[in-house]
Structure 1
Amino acid sequence: MTRLRAIGAALALVLIVVAAPLALLVWGVPVTRVGNLLRPDDGSALLAVLTVLGWLAWAAFTASVVIEAINVVARRAVPLRLPMLGGLQAIAGALVFAALSPSGPAVAASPAVSAVAAVADEVARNADTEAPAEVAGYLVRPGDDLWSIAEQVLGEGRLWHQLADANPDLLANPTVDLTPGTRLVLPSGPEPSHHQVARSHTVTVKRGDTLSGLAEKHLGDADKWPRIYRANDDRIDDPDLIDIGWKLVIPASSKASAPQQQRPPRKPVTTVDAPTIEQPTPSSEATPAASTTATPVVSASSVAQQSAEPQPEAPSTSASSDPAWPLLGGLGAAAAAMILTGVGLARAGQLRARPLGRRIAHPPVDVRRYETALGRRERPDSPELLEKALRHLGAHAHETGRTLPRLDRVLLDDVGVAFHWAQPVGEPPAPFQRAGSAWVLSARSAARLSDSAHPVPFPALVTLGRAQSGAWLMVDLESSPPLSLSGSRSLRHAAAAAMAVELSCSPWAAELCLTVVGGDEMFVRAACSELVRFTGDAEVALDALQAVANERSDDESPTALLRVDPDRAEAGAAHVVLIVDQPTEQQRARIDELLDRDLGISGVVAGAGAWTLTIDGTEESATATLDAGDLPIVPQLIPAHTRAAIGTIFAATDPGAHQPSGWWVEQASDNVRTLVPRRTDRLSVDEHRPDDPDRPYLRLFGPIDLIGAAGPQPARSRRQCEEYCAWLLENPNSTATRMTSELVVAETTRRSNMSRLRSWLGHDRDGQPYLPEAYSGRISLHPEVGSDWQRMQTLIAPGLNRLTAETLVDVLELVRGAPLADAAPGQWRWAEELRTDMASVARDAGVLLTRWAIDHRDLDLARWAAARALLAAPEDELLLVERIHTEHLAGNTGEVERLVRWVTSQARVLGVDLAPETIDACQQVMEGRTRPRAAR
């Protein structure tokens, strides 16, 4: 790309400097040929004027090219500037700089470009012998400031003062963008010896690579990752996300380093030109879970590599590169997504049942960090990909009438999912591909599959951990003898907790029955769904399984086919038992007898057996082997402190966990019905007046948007800057340590984004920064920086139920959509309390104003208020009831019937009961009265 850019720039210079005057000579008209000025003009005069302007423009541009060439050759810290030619000289400078890059070709020439050619030749001759950039100086790129350059060339941003001292006539503020093309003088230092100079080179990103890992490997220090980041800023938008297969430039290093082959890699990586292969475990009849063939086990990534498909970077599970590791340990990305899905559904139920004027409960601040960490770890597309694959296989089995073979294992990564069978299989259904003994579905192909509710064939699929290839290893508990769990008591509890919460929160959780025996009872009862049964007595669980076995033994229908039949799926539901503490010998014998794949009964049992997952080490640093040590993995565990936090998060989502709110005054007089609101110019959603502040203003209702900032928008990480701004607004006078902890980000990432945010916000009219440096150790935004949520809080300060209708209109006009409507997955998890409070205030304001408008027969205002509040709280039951009352009062029978069907159908879809008040309202408008109830 650099070479093509250099060639294009050189051609552009040749065309402008050489071809332009030739064209003017051939097609232009000199002034001397205009003729008699008193005669009618035949167009020659205008053409002559244009010719003169063309020569002037060519002369100015050619002079700019010569000056910029001198600036580059002389490496001037303060470049020469021509008066009144700033824009033209900037264009010329960009072309000259691109044309003279070391990889660009030397431009052959004419006399008009001989200077450019000479400089290009000089750069080409010196490309291999010139000292690194740290010695010769630094050429400023777009978006560079003193802080970021100091991070790149000096190792730490706080050393920017050294750059300022070396360039006193040019530099002042460490966060102000510098002029691209300027060459900075770097602080003087000892000249490196010849053997210490390392030239720039490129590397190919492999699975597991991170910028810090590459910096440690090639530059000798993980903290030098910003140098690689800045050297590849045309490709990398987020330093935490780099894709496999990228070619990254590793900048030159002035420090001595050991030969590359002597430095061990940071973690095992996979070569790009070879497929990921895991040697299968030797099998026997006693361990049918192991593969019975010698076919290599390939992941979806290996298939993608062979077909040259682009691959995203796998999420890191290394303690050294993942800021969420201290909180979550080895919990997988798919499991994190499933947990958060469960939390989200429970929280939605809380909001649905929330009484007017109350707020839902939230976990303590120190526990919310765990929810933020889950958001950082989650990959929502992983469970979605797996669900689509399983439901497609279920539909295939149902259509063909043939049971699927026994699963050996499943490998899941961001590229796709690979199902490995324990027996030879035929061709897979499209869009699966066959790769040896595996059926592989890529994420790209899965995206083309339509959503389906078809029952899954393997509901007892569970993650054991991460294989050496980087893919998550999953096994079907039904395709084997009981999986034995061996290790210390704490490790068994940690592994069983991960299995339990994954099974209970999976998208197909309703298609299995899970019983947990022993282990962390508080966690299971809090984090797992109400359908999960917990008991401390193994005999109770075994008796229940015995009843299921007796019932299914009388039916000759294959359970596997019942399960994929939409009409009979419940009869083939999977029954899974997790026995976390070691059973007695008699209980173990009974377990081995009861657990039967043909009956759909499976489980995990503590102890040793024919098929064992052995876990060693500690919860913070555990290793595991499957099948007598033949397959090493990093086990998926939920450490004790993480279980306590996740349990607390789920406990706070209890439907009845509501608290008094700060926006409602208990037993206040209902004076909201006494004043007249403003009218027609305030009632249309389409006529909502856009905000146009003269100061930074963060809009959080609807799409997140920071407007009114004085500085330029950052070229990358804009969303993260907006998130940081919101966090600072909600947590004024905080510390960097607390910010890093609650946002669960690396400190280097936080500093970089804070620098971008500081430049973006800029300064007020008095020159004061909107985000001052935290010299006192406390971070606070300028008092003029605000948000729509802060504006709303000011309006509702007297109490929402004490406001006039006019003020309620002002409150609802701030609502542009759902709170944090376009927050990306994994971001803004710290703001769950903020999001739910915003939605709750908007809903309560909408209900109050709609009721006031109905009482005053202002149906337009009632419709507007309910519609605006529904933007923030879609499908809220109280708001929909007020809509029903409004349309009933207006005599709009068709709309009333539609709204009633909507309310009742939504309750069926969500599997919840309508509130008694909603039922009464629906009966009243549809039947003219409520139905009689029997006297109690």
Structure 2
Amino acid sequence: MAHRTPAPLRALGTLLRALIGLTLLVALVGGVPYLLLQVGHQPTELSGGFDLLLQQDDGTLFLVVITCIGWTGWAAFTFSALVEILAVLRRRSAPRIKGLGGLQSLASFLIGGIVLLAPTAASAATVSPAVAATAGQTVGEAGASTVLSGKTTAETEETTWPKHTVSSATELPWDLAEEYLGDGKRWKDIAALNPDIPQLAAGDHYLPKGAVVKLPADARPVAPAASSAPAASESPAADKAAEQPASKDAQGGKQRDQAGDDTSASEADEPESVTVREGDSLWSIADEHGEPGDWPAIFEANRGEATPDGGKFTNPNLILPGQQLDVPQPSDQPETPAASDKDAGDQETPDKAPDTDADKTPAPENTPDKDADKGPEGEQSTPPASTPPPSRTAEPSPAVSTTAPTPGAQDTGRDQAPAAQRSDDGETALAPAALWMGAGALAAALVGTLATRRILQQRRRRPGRRIPMPQGRAAATEQGLRAAQHPTGFDLLGTALRSLALNLAAAGRELPVIEAVVLHEAKVELHLSEDTAPMKPFTATAGRQDLWICPASSPDLADEEALKDADAPYPALVSVGWDAAGHLVLVDLEQVGILHLAGDADFARHVLQAIAVELASTPLPGHIEVTALAETAPGLDSAAPERVVRIDDLADATAELVSHTADQRRALAAVGASSLRAARLTDDAGGAWTPHVLLAADLPDDQAVTALFDTLAEQPRAAGAVITTSAHQAPAEAWTLECKDPDETIVLPGSNLPIKLQGLSDEHFADAIELLSLAASDADVPAPEWTRIDPDEPIEEEEEEEPEQDEAQFSNGAQDADAPDGAADADPGEDGLPAEYAELELDALADEDTATSGAEPVDLVKPDAQDEDEAEGVRTAGPSLADVLADDDQDAEPEADLKPATDGTKAEAPAPAASPADVALALAAPCAAPAPPAVHVTIPAPAPAPAVETEPTDVPPPVAEQAPSETPTPLPEPEIEGAAPAVLLLGPISIEGATGRIDSSRLSAGIELIAYLALNPGVDHHAIDDALWPGRLVKKQMRNAVISRTRSWLGKDTDGNAHLPRVQETGDSRYRLGSAVTCDWTRFQRFSLTGMARHDEDGDLALRRALALVRGRPFIGIDPQRYAWAEPMIQEMVSSVVDVAYELSTRRREAGDIAGALWAARRGLLAAEESEMLHRQIFLAHHAAGDIDALREAAAQLARINEQLLGGVDMEAETAELLRNLLPRPTTRAR
């Protein structure tokens, strides 16, 4: 340890420095102007104006200029001194002013010496507080405690002090004291431990970057930041002692009993080795392999290991890319005693903690207030590096008892039981969205393909059945895909390239050779093989004719009508990776010809699989043929049979490709084109230039392969390509990509762009194949359990006090799918830390009230008064419509009006495009508090129906046989006695009746949370995190701020209960909406159950009520990167709406109510315009009415819809046969 100067001498030196500084400061601030006034020459001595510059100077002008310079220097220094003084008074660092650095440093030195005078004099006159270094006792194998000797060597002392490594050039001693000690005024304690750092002694000087600062023993630990920059380093024993002094006390005897059971430790598992990547931290690595709070165990397991820069790993905040870390398995992780959620909730007040025994390590007597070291939720939070956390730490007492970390404590810690971790189910765990983030284009392509295929599945689904949906890991992978998809610019790319083709054809030029395409969100870059004059809509960059750019705002992009006649000029474009900025990079396989993926065999296979899946699901227009050789990309041919075929023999695959290229060369000669680039712009191009790509993992070294390569290289080039990972020597003209590692940057041949290759692991490739295969299946599956009802079995009515049970029943098991295993049976206190959640939510709510007071609010409530009458009914066999309505009225959700909304106050997603159901009437938003009005629902009245004994009402009598008319008859609604928020999902998502206010920039997250809870009542915070922020590490502060804002927005019911109760008020520590909040999907299910079970007037009316809730396709208009959890529910909603519409349309048509039959079918088409099952109902209704013209128009409408699906699909055979039977056949006159 370095020699320490005696305290009296240090005080004397500081005193002299302060006196000298004060003298110089007074001299510079007050003496300089006095001197200038006495001996200087002021500008007032000059006369003559600019003529002085034309005359010979006698020295006066020179002296005046020197005096002015003196005044300027004095003003600059005085200003710098004032800035420094103000900074000291505010206890903040002074801002650096450009051009005044030297003067600021001088002023800082002088003022700093004066500031140090007071604390130094006090330190010299005060006895230093004694610090007792108490060793933390750890239960070993024998359970005996170990007491360390009070004598420590200098070397041991040096290694056991907590340390901080200065990571930036703007850190101050005050900042360190606030961050680690909770009080900026304790900077002198840090300075006393570091006499070799003079900037610390000054107090207000910036610390030198890279300096290692020793901290007092009671410094609180700070978790590593999410970067590789150094910040703080502490010994793990100190971490454990400072992190959880209260948790050990709170667990009391429970910890001792556990220690007694762990006297015999099992053999540790082999630790897993990971390689550090750029942006990693110990926190993130620990989170990937368990719990983020276990990062000290990883640091312990790797302490002292060599680092890539040649040093030793001693700072947990400084990890380097390429560094190898051993991640301990749960059996060999050091114990970090972590209280369970329930225990943590009990620790909010100190008096609740059980008394500790004498053999326990005493907590520091001067430990700061718990709330000071904890975040808003009662846990220790990680303060940002640039903003030290506020502190309520008490001043240190004269005698301090603390725990000194020692090597002995660290060693024995390895034998302790591991901390409690959150268990994950390996079969159903969500594949983190981060795994797909690099393949955002691939994710978007897969999601788009799944969407179109499921539309086709819905078309051919039988009534009462469902389309197959993925389960387990495949379902989790799809959720990861939906979360990772992002705008990739494919739409812009397709439009720009086809516009380019139209303009080049008009100018008589051929397509340029593209080496690479870089997709931005708002522009497209083409990297050409040679300098070429640009053509609209592209422009060349300054000084480069080989780089063309087309922005999304270009006025030269062709319109949709013009693009109908333009084929895709580059159909073989495929993405291979992304550049340093994360922009997708594509290459033209036709130009490449032979793509050789060399390097690591496994990663090369992953790259090949990514390309294969994208070729099978590319969002770019144009057709492409793919051949998979032998076992290359297994399952791809069955997942995408329209594009991919599999050939087991290389000779057959080679023959097919050779034949393909030969045919294209003959076609080129026939049209007189010199190349494919010219032929694709001819009018009669047709489908003659379809690319053919061979995927070959392995190629033998024989003559057949050589002939294959020669065929592809032959001129003129044909539309063929080979992608291989074989070790076979590729020809010189082939593109070779060295596949080393996903994080390895390579140079793309041709364009020399640095890129990172994208790959698809075997596991995720299998999931992608399963998703594609399932979406292509022609089979349907039985409907879920909630739809099955015995017509003779009475339905239990809802109880007003427990409506959430029905919500759970009708959520179709979504809760079970999203909640962790055993969540339904979990003890209320085992999850969610209800007490600390309440504390954080209260804090967040208070912050929100402050934040939104100045923000522009969104008021989503605007009443619209209407009148209504009360409808009643009598019970028949089973539940009647009146019973369902009575239950439904308890939810207090108003029905929708079929009049268009005019107030414009709904908080909903963008409206969908026009539906083919031209006469479908738009629903208005249900009215909201404070004055709940009556609402009318306008639907067609039933045709002749048997009379039902009811009490006198205002319901119009049954209508006699009628012609097909679109005139609806009003149906009276029950009067609403109290309005409450309504969650509308059967169309654009809308939250009606919220009485609070919320910032418009924070509305989307609140709406998604409400929608999720409406469909998944009773979930814990893990399920919410996985749904709203899949694949991300969610901080409790962020989650609970969203929940708090949403609670404030929804408001309270008439009894003062929040519509989104706090988690500790729900009884089982789960999140759910209040009992008064209603959901149109839940109401639809109740009406559907009654209507399907009853084949009478009540049943028909219930089905009408269900369909009246439909406003469009469920969840239409949502952000594609949000609602990744909702796809299964969307498909279930679509199927249910179509089934109800089909059933009601059939009933009304058979009853002679043509208008009712048409209304029901068209109502269902709002949710699924592609459903031919409903179109057939419209055909039958028009035929029953004898309206052949309307039947022909309906058939033409279906044909237009089919033309827009996947570039055009055929009408189903059943539909075509029905039209042949319904439409009159032309008669032939006999001769």
TM exceeding 0.5: yes
Give the percent of matched residue pairs that are identical in Structure 1 and Structure 2.
25
Secondary structure of 2:998's counterpart equals coil
Q: Which moved more, 1:535-544 or 1:762-771?
A: 762-771
Secondary structure of 2:90's counterpart equals coil
**Mapping of 1:124-523 within 5 angstroms?**
130-131=90-91, 189-191=182-184, 193=187, 328-329=435-436, 331-380=438-487, 382-435=489-542, 436=544, 437-445=546-554, 449-451=558-560, 452-453=563-564, 454-508=566-620, 510-518=622-630, 521-523=633-635
Asked whether the 8 Å contact 2:513–2:591 carries over to 1, the reply is: yes
Alpha carbons of structure 1 residues 871 and 406: separation in structure 2 relative to 1, 3 Å: same
The equivalent residue for 1:282 is none
The equivalent residue for 2:1059 is 770
Partner Cα separation in structure 1 for residue 979 and residue 482 of structure 2: 34
TM-score w.r.t. the length of structure 1 is 0.62
Q: Aligned match of 2:1130 in 835, 848, 862? A: 835
Partner Cα separation in structure 1 for residue 698 and residue 947 of structure 2: 68
Report the alpha carbon displacement of residue 346 of structure 1 after superposing the two structures with TM. Answer: 0.5
Q: For 1:222-276, what per-residue CA distance to the aligned partner results, in whole angstroms no more than 9, with x for missing partners?
A: xxxxxxxxxxxxxxxxxxxxxxxxxxxxxxxxxxxxxxxxx99999xxxxxxxxx
Q: Aligned match of 1:642 in 746, 752, 764? A: 764
The equivalent residue for 2:936 is none
Partner Cα separation in structure 1 for residue 432 and residue 605 of structure 2: 19
Partner Cα separation in structure 2 for residue 858 and residue 501 of structure 1: 50
Partner Cα separation in structure 2 for residue 835 and residue 770 of structure 1: 25
Secondary structure of 1:576's counterpart equals strand
Partner Cα separation in structure 1 for residue 229 and residue 87 of structure 2: 20
The equivalent residue for 2:800 is none
Alpha carbons of structure 1 residues 421 and 631: separation in structure 2 relative to 1, 3 Å: closer
Q: Which amino acid aligns with 1:497?
A: Q
Partner Cα separation in structure 1 for residue 224 and residue 1171 of structure 2: 48
Partner Cα separation in structure 2 for residue 644 and residue 487 of structure 1: 23
Report the alpha carbon displacement of residue 506 of structure 1 after superposing the two structures with TM. Answer: 2.1
Report the alpha carbon displacement of residue 198 of structure 1 after superposing the two structures with TM. Answer: 11
The yes-or-no answer on 1:795 pairing with 2:1087 is yes
Greater Rg over alpha carbons, structure: 2
Q: Which amino acid aligns with 2:464?
A: G
Partner Cα separation in structure 2 for residue 381 and residue 445 of structure 1: 18
The equivalent residue for 1:654 is 776
TM-score w.r.t. the length of structure 2 is 0.48
Q: Which amino acid aligns with 1:442?
A: P
**Mapping of 1:586-735 within 5 angstroms?**
586-596=703-713, 598-606=717-725, 607=727, 609=730, 610=732, 611-617=734-740, 624-627=746-749, 632-662=754-784, 664-665=787-788, 694-735=979-1020
Report the alpha carbon displacement of residue 530 of structure 1 after superposing the two structures with TM. Answer: 2.4
Secondary structure of 1:837's counterpart equals helix
Report the alpha carbon displacement of residue 675 of structure 1 after superposing the two structures with TM. Answer: 5.8
The equivalent residue for 2:1049 is 760
Asked whether the 8 Å contact 1:562–1:569 carries over to 2, the reply is: no
Partner Cα separation in structure 1 for residue 971 and residue 585 of structure 2: 52
Partner Cα separation in structure 1 for residue 1031 and residue 1003 of structure 2: 16
Q: Aligned match of 1:572 in 684, 689, 692? A: 689
Partner Cα separation in structure 2 for residue 390 and residue 576 of structure 1: 21
The equivalent residue for 2:1189 is 894
**Runs of at least 5 residues in structure 2 that lack an aligned partner in the other structure:** 1-81, 94-178, 188-198, 207-222, 233-316, 322-429, 793-876, 879-941, 949-954, 960-965
Partner Cα separation in structure 2 for residue 439 and residue 688 of structure 1: 62
Q: For 1:303-349, what per-residue CA distance to the aligned partner results, in whole angstroms no more than 9, with x for missing partners?
A: xxxxxxxxxxxxxxxxxxxx975563454322222111111110000
The equivalent residue for 1:562 is 679
Secondary structure of 2:510's counterpart equals coil
Partner Cα separation in structure 2 for residue 850 and residue 930 of structure 1: 32
Partner Cα separation in structure 2 for residue 458 and residue 331 of structure 1: 23
Q: For 1:367-425, what per-residue CA distance to the aligned partner results, in whole angstroms no more than 9, with x for missing partners?
A: 32322222222234511011112212222333233322322221112131111111121
Partner Cα separation in structure 2 for residue 702 and residue 857 of structure 1: 30
Partner Cα separation in structure 2 for residue 680 and residue 447 of structure 1: 61
Q: Which moved more, 1:845-854 or 1:779-788?
A: 779-788
The equivalent residue for 2:651 is 539
Report the alpha carbon displacement of residue 486 of structure 1 after superposing the two structures with TM. Answer: 0.9
Partner Cα separation in structure 1 for residue 586 and residue 609 of structure 2: 16
Partner Cα separation in structure 2 for residue 890 and residue 198 of structure 1: 91
Q: Aligned match of 1:847 in 1142, 1152, 1163? A: 1142
Say what the alpha-carbon RMSD is for the aligned residues: 4.2
Report the alpha carbon displacement of residue 914 of structure 1 after superposing the two structures with TM. Answer: 2.7
The equivalent residue for 1:88 is none
Secondary structure of 2:1012's counterpart equals helix
Alpha carbons of structure 1 residues 540 and 777: separation in structure 2 relative to 1, 3 Å: farther
Secondary structure of 1:807's counterpart equals helix
Partner Cα separation in structure 1 for residue 550 and residue 971 of structure 2: 47
Q: Which amino acid aligns with 2:758?
A: Q
**Runs of at least 5 residues in structure 1 that lack an aligned partner in the other structure:** 1-121, 134-185, 200-211, 222-262, 268-322, 932-936
Asked whether the 8 Å contact 1:560–1:572 carries over to 2, the reply is: no
Report the alpha carbon displacement of residue 601 of structure 1 after superposing the two structures with TM. Answer: 1.5
Report the alpha carbon displacement of residue 188 of structure 1 after superposing the two structures with TM. Answer: 11
The equivalent residue for 1:914 is 1211
Alpha carbons of structure 1 residues 680 and 325: separation in structure 2 relative to 1, 3 Å: farther
Report the alpha carbon displacement of residue 929 of structure 1 after superposing the two structures with TM. Answer: 10
Secondary structure of 1:578's counterpart equals strand
The yes-or-no answer on 1:873 pairing with 2:1168 is yes
The equivalent residue for 2:145 is none
The equivalent residue for 1:284 is none
Secondary structure of 1:388's counterpart equals helix
Report the alpha carbon displacement of residue 593 of structure 1 after superposing the two structures with TM. Answer: 0.9
Partner Cα separation in structure 2 for residue 897 and residue 343 of structure 1: 32
Alpha carbons of structure 1 residues 535 and 441: separation in structure 2 relative to 1, 3 Å: same
The equivalent residue for 2:1156 is 861
Secondary structure of 1:572's counterpart equals coil
Alpha carbons of structure 1 residues 567 and 213: separation in structure 2 relative to 1, 3 Å: farther
The equivalent residue for 2:1071 is 779
Q: Which amino acid aligns with 2:502?
A: A
Alpha carbons of structure 1 residues 845 and 469: separation in structure 2 relative to 1, 3 Å: closer
Asked whether the 8 Å contact 1:416–1:443 carries over to 2, the reply is: yes
Secondary structure of 1:441's counterpart equals strand
Q: Which amino acid aligns with 2:1042?
A: N
Partner Cα separation in structure 2 for residue 394 and residue 629 of structure 1: 22
Partner Cα separation in structure 1 for residue 1091 and residue 971 of structure 2: 25
**Mapping of 1:104-115 within 5 angstroms?**
none
Asked whether the 8 Å contact 2:580–2:754 carries over to 1, the reply is: yes
Partner Cα separation in structure 2 for residue 499 and residue 585 of structure 1: 26
Alpha carbons of structure 1 residues 461 and 539: separation in structure 2 relative to 1, 3 Å: same
Partner Cα separation in structure 2 for residue 684 and residue 198 of structure 1: 82
